[in-house]
């Protein structure tokens, strides 16, 4: 958190709405100023990945909910205390779509606004702003400039504080929102960018006798895994019945035929935030699968990556780096790759076997490879691994509105194919679906790997998402080789995703939780 001490030169201009000298903060305890109502200029209207259109999210004490504006300039939000209150501190939790330049204004009638201060060149994250004590009923934040012209403005939470003696009836933050107070008091709830935490003990080794009840935990951010929002989501997942977390970490290459893979400073979690998430999961009693991905900056699918000896040398360094980190921080399960279809042919089998051998030297736990649904039968190095991993986006029917019985039948056919392959190849390994998921969209069963699943009219269909999940577990849990799932996907922060994979708050989540608790 960055603290800004700002005493504006033009403070006398706001006497009409109230401003007076106050005692020093240390002699006058600060209280959190309760907000009665919030108004905003607009809501993000994109069909997916936008938050719920709820202005109250800005002052609900929940760092997992946020407001996002339309993609226009001069977007604003204002807070109504219900009556004039004296504030001298504002804390803004910005989302990535922040405003580098913004104004803070006050009013007593919502018509006549006075500018308290203007900020320029801010870098988002968390702004902690201290100002001269100011009395007003309404406080407005006006976004003057957007960080990205293709985005709007988005904020997780705004907190107001003022002197206790001037705000009778208001209470300390710890009494109102203890979770936020705790996070702010503990390095503001985020892991540092450089300093790594010490390891937390594992809740126990992963065995092939247990069923892995997991989700894939995804973040394309260098810092998000170390935030209070991430901590709260991991707690939420544990209460849901999740006992394994597949933490994804992504490195990149520029083109499909590039020779090297690298960490992205913006999109790859820092080691500190990754370690923080691992430790948080362990502290809750959840086990961790570390799931490194190699992605292409052009947006092409990783399965199209064209391998070479130089590429494998770079990929080996990538894997060994995280295998060592996984060992140091008691990670229970490690995936040596994900959907790298062009690289797992017989021509490159020796490269894979060499990488797996070197990972074994530094990581003591079980290993898998996360094969694409149409790749797993061609992978030639399952004997070097402990689990068969399948990203199980199998097409089910050609019907956009299938019955539950049709979905069960389709899953039975796919499970029988896996069963026959295991027996024919004498592959005596447990199988884990290292990814499986469906969009909450009409037709998602046709091409589960497609974000909008052959949509023609953008129809939301939570029932089909739930039925696909239920059919998969109804069928696969009857096979002795089936030892777990990792649902794709959960984000550290709540995302309003009416057509996407996340199931938080949807019909499928209740079904998912019921299965987790009864398996």
pLDDT at residue number 276: 97
What is 2-14 written as a DSSP string?
A: EEEE---TTGGGG
Residue 199 CA to residue 194 CA, distance in Å, equals 15
**Per residue in 431-467, is it b (16+ CB within 10 Å) or e — as a string?**
bbbbbbbbbbbbbbbbebbeebbebeeeebbbebbbb
Task: Read off the CATH number of the domain in which 362 is found.
Answer: 3.20.20.80
pLDDT at residue number 141: 98
Residue 301 CA to residue 70 CA, distance in Å, equals 30
Sign of CA dihedral 192, 196, 198, 200: positive
Same domain, 381 and 477: yes
Structure tokens at 3: 């603290």
| Overall pTM surpassing 0.75 (yes/no) | yes
Same domain, 142 and 221: no
75 within domain boundaries: yes
* Domain span at 511: 212-518
**Which letter does DSSP use for residue 483 in this model?**
E
197 within domain boundaries: no
What is 100-154 written as a DSSP string?
A: SEEEEEEESSSSS-EEEEEE-S--SSEEEEEEEEEEEEEEEEEEEE-SSTTS--E
CA distances for 503 relative to 146, 228, 416, 437, 470, angstroms: 30, 21, 27, 9, 13
**Among candidate residues 118, 140, 172, the one where a domain is terminated:** 172
508 within domain boundaries: yes
111 within domain boundaries: yes
Residue 491 CA to residue 104 CA, distance in Å, equals 31
Same domain, 166 and 242: no
Task: Read off the CATH number of the domain in which 80 is found.
Answer: 2.60.120.260
**Among candidate residues 118, 152, 172, the one where a domain is terminated:** 172
205 within domain boundaries: no
Same domain, 227 and 160: no
406: left (phi over 0), alpha (psi -120 to 50) or beta: alpha
What is 391-408 written as a DSSP string?
A: E------S-SS--HHHHH
CB distance 401 to 394 below 8 Å: no
pLDDT at residue number 183: 73
Same domain, 123 and 256: no
pLDDT at residue number 51: 85
Same domain, 28 and 160: yes
187 within domain boundaries: no
End-to-end Cα separation, the chain, in angstroms: 43
pLDDT at residue number 13: 30
- Count up the domains in the chain and report the number: 2
pLDDT at residue number 4: 52
**Among candidate residues 140, 172, 204, the one where a domain is terminated:** 172
Residue 299 CA to residue 341 CA, distance in Å, equals 16
Residue 411 CA to residue 431 CA, distance in Å, equals 15
pLDDT at residue number 457: 57
Same domain, 363 and 265: yes
Structure tokens at 351: 């490269």
Residue 64 CA to residue 494 CA, distance in Å, equals 5
Same domain, 147 and 268: no
What does the pLDDT profile of the chain (519 residues) look like in tens digits?
444 544 433 333 332 333 333 334 455 799 999 999 999 999 998 767 788 899 999 999 988 889 999 999 999 999 999 999 999 999 999 988 999 999 999 999 999 999 999 999 998 889 999 999 999 999 999 999 999 998 999 999 999 999 999 999 999 999 999 988 877 775 433 444 457 899 999 999 999 999 999 999 999 999 999 988 899 999 999 999 999 999 999 999 999 999 999 999 989 999 999 999 999 999 999 999 999 999 999 999 999 999 999 999 999 999 999 999 999 999 999 999 999 999 999 999 999 999 999 999 999 999 999 999 999 999 999 999 999 999 999 999 999 999 999 999 999 999 999 999 999 999 999 999 999 999 999 999 999 998 754 444 568 899 999 999 999 999 999 999 999 999 999 999 877 788 889 999 999 999 999 999 999
Burial class (CB in 10 A: 0-12, 13-18, 19+), 207: exposed
Residues 6+ apart with CB under 8 A from 302: 293, 294, 295, 296, 338, 339, 340
pLDDT at residue number 189: 38
| Phi/psi at 340 (5° precision) | -90, 65
186 within domain boundaries: no
């Amino acid at each position: 958190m960055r603290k800004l001490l700002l005493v504006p030169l033009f403070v006398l201009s706001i006497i009409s709405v109230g401003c007076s000298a106050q005692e020093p903060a240390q002699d006058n305890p600060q209280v959190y100023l309760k907000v009665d109502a919030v108004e905003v200029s607009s809501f993000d209207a994109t069909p997916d990945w936008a938050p719920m259109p709820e202005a109250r999210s800005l002052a609900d004490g929940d760092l997992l909910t946020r407001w996002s504006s339309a993609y226009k300039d001069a977007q604003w939000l204002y807070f109504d205390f219900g009556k004039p209150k004296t504030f001298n501190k504002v804390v803004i939790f910005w989302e990535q779509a922040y405003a580098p330049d913004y104004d803070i204004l006050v009013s007593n009638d919502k018509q006549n606004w006075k500018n308290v201060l203007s900020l320029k060149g801010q870098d988002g994250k968390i702004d902690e702003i201290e100002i001269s004590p100011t009395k007003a009923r309404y406080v407005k934040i006006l976004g003057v400039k957007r960080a990205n012209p293709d985005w709007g403005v988005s904020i997780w939470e705004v907190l107001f504080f003022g002197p206790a003696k001037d705000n009778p009836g208001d209470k300390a933050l710890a009494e109102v929102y203890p979770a936020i107070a705790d996070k702010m008091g503990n390095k503001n709830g985020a892991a540092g960018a450089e300093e790594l935490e010490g390891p937390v003990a594992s809740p126990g080794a992963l065995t092939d006798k247990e069923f892995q009840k997991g989700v894939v935990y995804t973040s394309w951010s260098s810092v998000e895994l170390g935030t209070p929002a991430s901590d709260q989501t991991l707690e939420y997942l544990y209460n849901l019945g999740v006992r394994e977390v597949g933490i994804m970490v992504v490195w990149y290459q520029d083109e499909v035929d590039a020779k090297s893979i690298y960490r992205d400073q913006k999109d790859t979690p820092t080691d500190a935030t990754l370690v923080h998430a691992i430790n948080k999961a362990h502290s809750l009693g959840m086990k961790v699968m570390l799931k490194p991905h190699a992605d292409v900056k052009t947006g092409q699918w990783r399965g199209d990556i064209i391998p070479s000896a130089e590429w494998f040398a770079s990929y080996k360094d990538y894997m060994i780096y995280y295998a060592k980190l996984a060992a140091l921080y008691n990670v229970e399960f490690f995936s040596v790759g994900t959907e790298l279809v062009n690289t797992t042919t017989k021509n490159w089998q020796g490269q894979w076997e060499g990488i797996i051998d070197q990972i074994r030297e530094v990581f003591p736990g079980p290993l898998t490879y996360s094969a694409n649904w149409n790749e797993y039968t061609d992978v030639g190095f399952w004997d070097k691994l402990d689990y068969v991993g399948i990203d199980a986006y199998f097409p089910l029917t050609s019907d956009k509105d299938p019955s539950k019985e049709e979905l069960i039948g389709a899953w039975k056919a796919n499970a029988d194919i896996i069963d026959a392959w295991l027996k024919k190849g004498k592959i005596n390994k447990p199988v884990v679906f290292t990814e499986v998921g469906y969009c909450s969209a009409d037709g998602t069963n046709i091409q589960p790997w497609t974000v909008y699943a052959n949509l023609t009219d953008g129809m939301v269909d939570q029932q089909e998402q739930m039925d696909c999940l239920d059919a998969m577990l109804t069928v696969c849990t009857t096979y002795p080789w089936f030892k777990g799932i990792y649902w794709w996907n959960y984000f550290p922060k709540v995302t309003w995703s009416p057509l996407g994979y996340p199931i938080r708050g949807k019909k499928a989540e209740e079904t998912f939780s019921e299965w987790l608790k009864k398996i």
